């Protein structure tokens, strides 16, 4: 779920970027038991995907795909680099 989004910005290379704060809640199988997973994470989207996601509203449920990377070089904290927004029909 989208918790908060920042205004569209531009990287030093001139590429659109959008920073997001997401909330995730799910039940996962952990060795035959269900484990509740609840977390908040930072995310970023670039270019066309950033332009599309800037219209998402706080509270909106989103299905996103991407990969994790450090929030900055050498950091131990992670953020999600969004590569795909899977929109439900």
Instruction: Identify whether the C-beta of residue 20 lies closer than 8 Å to the C-beta of residue 45.
Output: yes
Domains and CATH numbers, the chain: 2-85 (2.40.50.140)
Residue 88 has pLDDT above 80, yes or no: no
Q: pLDDT value at position 17? A: 96
| Mean pLDDT taken over the chain | 93
pLDDT tens track for 53-80: 999 999 999 999 999 999 999 999 999 9
Q: pLDDT value at position 69? A: 94
Query: Which residues, including other chains, have CB under 8 Å from residue 14's CB and lie 6 or more apart?
Result: none
Rounded CA separation 40/62 (Å): 14
Q: pLDDT value at position 89? A: 56
């Amino acid at each position: 779920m989208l918790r908060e989004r920042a205004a569209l910005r531009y990287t030093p290379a001139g590429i659109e970027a959008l920073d997001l704060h997401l909330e995730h809640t799910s039940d996962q199988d952990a060795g035959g038991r269900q484990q509740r997973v609840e977390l908040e994470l930072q995310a970023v989207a670039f270019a066309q995907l950033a332009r599309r996601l800037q219209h998402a509203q706080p509270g909106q449920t989103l299905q996103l795909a991407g990969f994790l990377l450090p929030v900055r070089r050498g950091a131990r904290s992670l953020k999600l680099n969004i590569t795909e927004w899977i929109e439900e029909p």
